[in-house]
Structure 1
Amino acid sequence: MRSPNYAELVLLFLCTATIICFAFNLHDSEVMRCIEEERQALLKFRQGLLYSPELSWGTHEEDCCKWEGIKCSNRTGHAVTLDLSHKHLLGEISSSLLGLQHLTYLDLSDNSLSILPKFIGSITKLQYLNLSCNYFSGTIPPQLGNLSNLISLDISLNEMIIEDHNLDWLFHLSSLRHLDISSVNLSKVVNWPDKISMLPSLLEDLRLCNCELSMPFPPALINANCSSLPSLLDLSWNQLNSSIFPWLFKYTNSLVHLDLLYNAIQGLVPKTLGNMVALVHLDLSHNYLEGSIPKALGNMVALVHLDLSHNNLEGSIPKALGNMVALVHLDLSSNKLEGAIQNLSKLSLLRELHLSDNQLNGSLDNVLGKLSKLQFLDLSFNSLKGVITETHLSNLSSLNHLDLSYNSDLSLKFSPEWVPPFHLDYIELRSCKLGPAFPPWIQTQKNFSLLDISDARISDTIPNWFWDLSFNIKFLNISTNQIIVTIPFGWFLARFQGSYAIDLSYNRFSGQLPQLNSDSLVLNLSNNLFHGTMTFICESDGPLIYLDLSNNLFSGELPKCWPNPSFLNLTNNNLSGRILESFGKICFWKYSYLTSLHFQNNSFIGELHVSLMNCSSLRVIDFGENKLSGRIPAWIGTSLLQLMILRLPSNEFVGSIPHLCQLTSLQILDISYNSISGTIPRCIYNFTAMAQKQNSETIPLDYGFDAPEGSIHFDSKYIEKCLEDEATQDPKIGSTHQEQENSHERLWFYTSIAVGFVVGFWGACGTLVLKSSWRHAYFQVLERMGDIIFVTIAINMATPLKNFKTQCYHENI
């Protein structure tokens, strides 16, 4: 009998394999079709919602295993995964989910669901449950303790939930490894440290951020026989005090990640903290710690992340920190540290170094040279001195964020031919000595998003290469220099797509203003030599919320079209004509929020147009030093009820003072040097917010600031006499414009009040939803920018701050 040859055996094997694979495919095709009972349960769940715009279950596909967010077992066909996170669901969770008894993974996070149902505790095969970021209220159902297979539980960021069962249900979750109940009210939990210590031993990370936890009992009452803590413990945003440390020190070998930021911890940093040698991450920022940084912290050689920022720490930076050779992130900013920066050359892994807002001095010699992996360097708001040359920065090839701002004695002197090894995203060098020449090394930085070289002693023209730099600019500030140049006509339009803030103020820019794009939010071109008409404004139809063109040479009439500003300053130009009806129409915009209007020292004529009465959000009106005429409109006192500053001096108004009694927030009223007659309204005496002139005969009230010269001041005895006799007083009338000695200071005084409101409003509208480095830079700007750079603050679309929910969410992921 002939034995099969090799080729026949191979052919036989291939045929057999094909048949087997075909059989398995047939089997899979059968089991992959969903089970009808589970399909009906899912449809009932969707029908029970009030709003589910992204769920099209059953519309085009009958097999529920192929529906969005559903995964079925290849072996049994049962639905095992239901992931509907970020689907904009609104309503309640239907009990039909009980028909999905084979679910092991359920994620309904980041929706608008209400009522945390008890029946979820009956889906006993669940291993992963995420119900975070919803609108659940009431108490945590103890039935969750029935989920003995649960490995991960997240019910965080449901701020209306309160724990009313002392966390006892947690002890039954014997498989639990990850627990996040941040932003759930745990204030009723008795002796919560003991409860945490008794959690299942498998638990690896525990997040209790913003749970209203406190330490109301002495440390001696805490159970000393507890086993261990999770390796990751987040207790941030609570009301904990220094009593937390003795409890934590019992677990020096188990804790790896510890977050205590935003608490009420006072006193010295404990030296025994240095015994927690297993720690990799330690954050004690935003507390009330004081004294010096203990040298014992240098024993924590495994530490990768150390944040002691925003405390009251004093003294010098200890040399012992140089022993933390594993450090990647070091933040000691916003303290009272002083002295020279120590040699950090041993920290070769360091990527982020934050030492801003201290009292550090000395030079940077031998500080940065060996930090080749450094990406983020912030030494701003110190008293550093000396000269930085290319030698200091030549090894920082990974650097993308450089902030040396507000070190006014620090000079940067590089050779004109130097090509930096890095490519920066953020360049912040405000108040450093860069000039007198425009720094040529910036030419090598092709893709920066933020450039601040304001107040840098530059007195030069801008080189031609600057106009061809980054297309990615979001913030540009070159203000307060002596730059002399005409901006190319299409530069704004070509280079500032999606930009946020541009500040060119206090320079010598000249010529007509170039085309604007429609993306800018903040534009400050004040105190320059721009001239021509303002018709360019009609070319911008974007959300320009801050526009300052004051102290230039613009002429002609106001344009007939406007963007939608919140702050508008045209002071000290050569503008003329009437304030047109079209201007008042900006207050009819759907998102209009005009709060501050400055037209001082121009040549406007005619009456204040009635359309301005629609700008009901106005806080500041300054039309002083013009040629406006007619009566002061009565609608100012009835429609602009939020008004804080009203300046109409040196115009040609006639008639009597209108009824202003409803303007209860009014702080500055100046109607001097007009032809106004009649009686002083009786209610003037009741303006409790009005600043009074400081002399012996005025009402002795302190309102926190001095009223500038030119405000209306009323002698208290004089007012009382007027009210008693209702006598008519003739004020001194001047028909000509009086020279204002302190007009510049007064302008910034008014601006600071207005911008305070603008910042508050736009800060509440949102934060910058960007990467972490963007958020960091934004909040730095928010804390530090002064009178000139305040324009950058106004762009808080962003942000960039802090909405606590957003911060906790990002911290938790």
Structure 2
Amino acid sequence: MGRYSFLFSFLLLSALCNSSQASAAQLNQTQANHLGKLFEILQSNLSVPSGHLNNSINTNRCNWTGVTCISHASSTVVSKLSFSDLGISSFNSSSLAAFFDHLCSLDTLQYLDLSSNGLRSLPDSFSNCTGLSGLKYLNLRNTELYSPIPDFSKFGHLEILDLSSNYLTDIDLNPLIRLESLKELVLSWNNFTAFKSSTPIPPSFFGVQTRPQFTRCIFLSPPDDIFKHGNLTLLDLSHNQLTGSIPEEFNNLTKLDLSYNNLTGELYADLLSAPTLESIDLTSNCLTGSIPVNLSRILYQIRLGGNQLNGTLPTSIGELSQLSYLELDGNNLSGEIPPEMGNLSNLVVIELQMNKISGRIPNQISNLVNLNTLNLSQNALSGEIPSQISDLQKLSNLNLQGNNLSGSIPTTISNMVSLIELQLGENKLNGTIPEMPSSLTTALNLSHNCFSGSIPSSSFSKSPQLEILDLSHNNFSGPLPDSLTTLQFLTLLDLSDNNLAGTLPTFHRWVNVIITGNALLSNSSQVSQSKRKMHPSLDIMLSFELGAFVGIFVGMFLGTYGFDKIQFDRSL
């Protein structure tokens, strides 16, 4: 499964605590025989090397790769088998049938992982297997299963079933109805088009009974009742083909993920106000309308990016003291950033890019002391970059590109000790480029602004690991400072469309220097200005390949004309 269950970890904890003692003991003879047969089948059918094939040298089968044993009722038994990504689909039909027959004989098995094996279907003998009635975890993720869904009714104690990343196109609840112990059903990354049941769904399936059920459940196209299920806490329908609108009622959900579907309609007023709601992800749908004002006070994640939402950012966001992730990018939001957002001291990520947000960046943003990523690019923000932004000592990525920001870059930006990427292109910034922080490594983009005069030699002296520097489409003039050649990690330097003059200094051969649009800047010391230069590692690789070619040619020549006469000193 993509996300491992806390529930099953807890269930196995006591078993794993005994596993070291169990591994020292021998299995009972019946289980030892079945386990031996399983690995004989693996050894005779697998065409690629696997750690499972080295098990024969270890006489204690509880120490074999993929096997976990526990002490149970004064004996040692198998509790867990992991056969992930072994190419079981390549078995011939008789070997495959025998493999599952021996699996079904391990009646103490609680955990079985058959993921990433390309099975396409399960043999009937496995679906009818009564020997695995105590199985609690079954992982069939990425096994290329096709509809209909297999019958798991014989696995009466199954609590976790992972069928994600397969080719299931619909789901009939009937094979699952009798799984009364089921708490986690993972069906994400399929191609479901329907959710049906030819027989009435018993109340126990929806958790009406007192015992807890479906504490985590992943469905596609579920009936409305599933949203009303009183024990359901996590509902993940992401990465499927859901259409229609979001149901208006769900009871005790803490996490709702409907991202990457084709949902339409508006966000209803109380969607985000459920008192138990902690996280909502509706990314990449076709949702419209405004962001609701009523918000759950315990929300720590709001992801609504990639929709068609409009309206303004509600000031009530400032009341979400636990909010860590706010992602509203790629919508049609307008208005200003509310100063109340400065109350959100736990925010780690703000992504508001590609909207129509206007006004100034509020000074209160300096209160977001835990902020790591701030992306306000491609909006209509104006005014100056507030100097208070430099108080964000944990900020690593700052993107303000594509706005109408003016004035100069705050000189205090050199104090931002965690900043690795700074994107300020496509604004109206001017003045002198201040000294950049030593942490700046990934990129500095100042293109398409109004900078003029000479490029200061000290601006990048404390950023020797900078990889990309874009100063294009400004009004820089005069000669290029030699200090730029000391940036040892630089791979791209874009100086195009300025008024630079003089002779271009000599850069390392792996630096791609772009100087087009500088009529007075000569390139006499460089290779063609449009040629991509190689990093040393690439140069060495090409030299090695050339040397290998020459070596092969020489070898062929010597083989023809007396290679046996040449003596080699083996001590070299």
- Give the distance between the partners of 1:474 and 1:377, measured in 2 at CA: 19
Pairwise mapping of residues 131-280 of structure 1 onto structure 2 (< 5 A)? 131-134=114-117, 136-145=118-127, 146=129, 147-159=132-144, 161-163=145-147, 166-168=149-151, 170-187=152-169, 192-196=172-176, 198-215=177-194, 223-229=200-206, 230-235=214-219, 240=221, 244-249=222-227, 251-270=228-247, 273=248, 275-280=249-254
Q: Are the equivalent residues in 2 in contact too, given 1:493–1:515 (CA < 8 A)?
A: no
**Which residue number corresponds to residue 470 of structure 2?**
503
Of 473, 476, 482, which residue of structure 1 is paired with 2:444?
A: 476
Shift of 1:378: 1.3
Q: Are the equivalent residues in 2 in contact too, given 1:231–1:254 (CA < 8 A)?
A: yes
Of 110, 125, 131, which residue of structure 2 is paired with 1:127?
A: 110
Q: Residue 194 of structure 2 aligns to which amino acid in structure 1? A: M
Shift of 1:402: 0.9
**Which residue number corresponds to residue 114 of structure 1?**
89
- Give the distance between the partners of 2:108 and 2:24, measured in 1 at CA: 24
Q: Are the equivalent residues in 1 in contact too, given 2:383–2:407 (CA < 8 A)?
A: no
Could you report, residue by residue, the CA deviation over 1:623-668 in whole angstroms, capped at 9, with x for unpaired residues?
xxxxxxxxxxxxxxxxxxxxxxxxxxxxxxxxxxxxxxxxxxxxxx
Q: Are the equivalent residues in 2 in contact too, given 1:492–1:516 (CA < 8 A)?
A: no
Match of 1:227, SS? helix
Shift of 1:329: 0.8
- Give the distance between the partners of 1:410 and 1:525, measured in 2 at CA: 26
- Give the distance between the partners of 2:22 and 2:141, measured in 1 at CA: 38
TM-align CA RMSD: 4.2
Q: Are the equivalent residues in 2 in contact too, given 1:103–1:125 (CA < 8 A)?
A: yes
* Greater Rg over alpha carbons, structure: 1
Shift of 1:369: 2.7
Could you report, residue by residue, the CA deviation over 1:532-586 in whole angstroms, capped at 9, with x for unpaired residues?
4686353x2xxx8x87553343423764996469xxxxxxxxxxxxxxxx9xx99
Shift of 1:265: 3.6
Shift of 1:156: 0.6
Of 346, 366, 370, which residue of structure 1 is paired with 2:343?
A: 370
How many residues of Structure 1 are paired with residues of Structure 2 in the alignment? Answer: 488
Q: Residue 307 of structure 1 aligns to which amino acid in structure 2? A: D
- Give the distance between the partners of 1:437 and 1:179, measured in 2 at CA: 57
- Give the distance between the partners of 2:496 and 2:23, measured in 1 at CA: 71
Pairwise mapping of residues 458-497 of structure 1 onto structure 2 (< 5 A)? 458-464=429-435, 466=436, 468-470=437-439, 473-483=441-451, 484-486=454-456, 494-496=464-466
Q: Are the equivalent residues in 2 in contact too, given 1:140–1:162 (CA < 8 A)?
A: no
Q: Are the equivalent residues in 2 in contact too, given 1:34–1:77 (CA < 8 A)?
A: no
Match of 2:235, SS? strand
Shift of 1:171: 0.7
User: Structure 1 vs Structure 2: percent identity of aligned residues?
Assistant: 25
Q: Are the equivalent residues in 2 in contact too, given 1:284–1:308 (CA < 8 A)?
A: yes
Q: For the structure 1 residues 234 and 71, does the alpha-carbon distance in structure 2 shift closer, same or farther, using more than 3 Å as the test?
A: closer
Pairwise mapping of residues 350-369 of structure 1 onto structure 2 (< 5 A)? 350-369=323-342
Q: Residue 550 of structure 1 aligns to which amino acid in structure 2? A: T
Q: Which ranges of structure 2 fall in alignment gaps of 5 or more residues?
A: 1-20, 207-213, 547-572
Q: For the structure 1 residues 254 and 485, does the alpha-carbon distance in structure 2 shift closer, same or farther, using more than 3 Å as the test?
A: same
Could you report, residue by residue, the CA deviation over 1:754-788 in whole angstroms, capped at 9, with x for unpaired residues?
xxxxxxxxxxxxxxxxxxxxxxxxxxxxxxxxxxx
- Give the distance between the partners of 1:485 and 1:143, measured in 2 at CA: 75
Could you report, residue by residue, the CA deviation over 1:34-85 in whole angstroms, capped at 9, with x for unpaired residues?
999778975884575333266794799776666665555579999x7xxxxx
**Which residue number corresponds to residue 551 of structure 1?**
517
Shift of 1:225: 3.9
Of 342, 352, 361, which residue of structure 1 is paired with 2:314?
A: 342
Pairwise mapping of residues 2-41 of structure 1 onto structure 2 (< 5 A)? 31=25
Q: Are the equivalent residues in 1 in contact too, given 2:136–2:160 (CA < 8 A)?
A: yes
Q: Residue 176 of structure 1 aligns to which amino acid in structure 2? A: L
- Give the distance between the partners of 2:434 and 2:187, measured in 1 at CA: 54
Shift of 1:195: 4.0
- Give the distance between the partners of 2:218 and 2:23, measured in 1 at CA: 46
Match of 2:386, SS? coil
Q: For the structure 1 residues 267 and 54, does the alpha-carbon distance in structure 2 shift closer, same or farther, using more than 3 Å as the test?
A: closer
- Give the distance between the partners of 1:410 and 1:325, measured in 2 at CA: 31
- Give the distance between the partners of 2:420 and 2:87, measured in 1 at CA: 35
Match of 2:464, SS? helix
**Which residue number corresponds to residue 569 of structure 2?**
none
Match of 1:427, SS? strand
Q: For the structure 1 residues 547 and 74, does the alpha-carbon distance in structure 2 shift closer, same or farther, using more than 3 Å as the test?
A: farther
Q: Residue 215 of structure 2 aligns to which amino acid in structure 1? A: S
Shift of 1:345: 2.8
Q: Are the equivalent residues in 2 in contact too, given 1:285–1:311 (CA < 8 A)?
A: yes
Q: Which ranges of structure 1 fall in alignment gaps of 5 or more residues?
A: 1-26, 81-101, 566-581, 590-813
**Which residue number corresponds to residue 409 of structure 1?**
381
Q: For the structure 1 residues 156 and 68, does the alpha-carbon distance in structure 2 shift closer, same or farther, using more than 3 Å as the test?
A: closer
Q: For the structure 1 residues 459 and 144, does the alpha-carbon distance in structure 2 shift closer, same or farther, using more than 3 Å as the test?
A: same
Shift of 1:372: 2.0
Q: Residue 246 of structure 1 aligns to which amino acid in structure 2? A: D
Match of 1:235, SS? coil
Q: Are the equivalent residues in 2 in contact too, given 1:309–1:332 (CA < 8 A)?
A: yes
Q: For the structure 1 residues 399 and 535, does the alpha-carbon distance in structure 2 shift closer, same or farther, using more than 3 Å as the test?
A: closer
**Which residue number corresponds to residue 49 of structure 2?**
52
Query: Which structure's relative contact order is higher, taking Cα pairs within 8 Å and 6+ residues apart?
Result: 2
- Does 2:301 match 1:329? yes
Q: Are the equivalent residues in 1 in contact too, given 2:433–2:456 (CA < 8 A)?
A: no
Q: Are the equivalent residues in 2 in contact too, given 1:427–1:452 (CA < 8 A)?
A: yes
Could you report, residue by residue, the CA deviation over 1:471-502 in whole angstroms, capped at 9, with x for unpaired residues?
6x234322222444155799699314xx5x55
Q: Are the equivalent residues in 1 in contact too, given 2:190–2:240 (CA < 8 A)?
A: no
Could you report, residue by residue, the CA deviation over 1:121-163 in whole angstroms, capped at 9, with x for unpaired residues?
42332211112234x243122333322121111111123x324
Q: Are the equivalent residues in 1 in contact too, given 2:51–2:65 (CA < 8 A)?
A: no
Match of 2:342, SS? coil
Match of 2:523, SS? strand
- Give the distance between the partners of 1:223 and 1:374, measured in 2 at CA: 46
Shift of 1:396: 1.7
Q: Are the equivalent residues in 2 in contact too, given 1:290–1:314 (CA < 8 A)?
A: yes
Shift of 1:353: 0.9
Q: Are the equivalent residues in 2 in contact too, given 1:423–1:446 (CA < 8 A)?
A: yes
TM-score normalised to structure 2 length: 0.72
Q: For the structure 1 residues 201 and 502, does the alpha-carbon distance in structure 2 shift closer, same or farther, using more than 3 Å as the test?
A: farther
Could you report, residue by residue, the CA deviation over 1:271-327 in whole angstroms, capped at 9, with x for unpaired residues?
xx2x3121111122333333321113255221111122323333322222x2x1121
Match of 1:106, SS? strand
Of 474, 492, 496, which residue of structure 2 is paired with 1:526?
A: 496
Pairwise mapping of residues 725-764 of structure 1 onto structure 2 (< 5 A)? none
Q: For the structure 1 residues 492 and 192, does the alpha-carbon distance in structure 2 shift closer, same or farther, using more than 3 Å as the test?
A: farther
- Give the distance between the partners of 2:460 and 2:26, measured in 1 at CA: 60
TM-score normalised to structure 1 length: 0.52
Q: Are the equivalent residues in 2 in contact too, given 1:490–1:515 (CA < 8 A)?
A: no
Q: Are the equivalent residues in 1 in contact too, given 2:67–2:82 (CA < 8 A)?
A: no
Match of 1:290, SS? strand
Match of 2:394, SS? coil
- Give the distance between the partners of 2:59 and 2:49, measured in 1 at CA: 19
Q: Residue 514 of structure 1 aligns to which amino acid in structure 2? A: T
- Give the distance between the partners of 1:30 and 1:255, measured in 2 at CA: 41
- Give the distance between the partners of 1:77 and 1:48, measured in 2 at CA: 35
- Give the distance between the partners of 1:313 and 1:460, measured in 2 at CA: 42
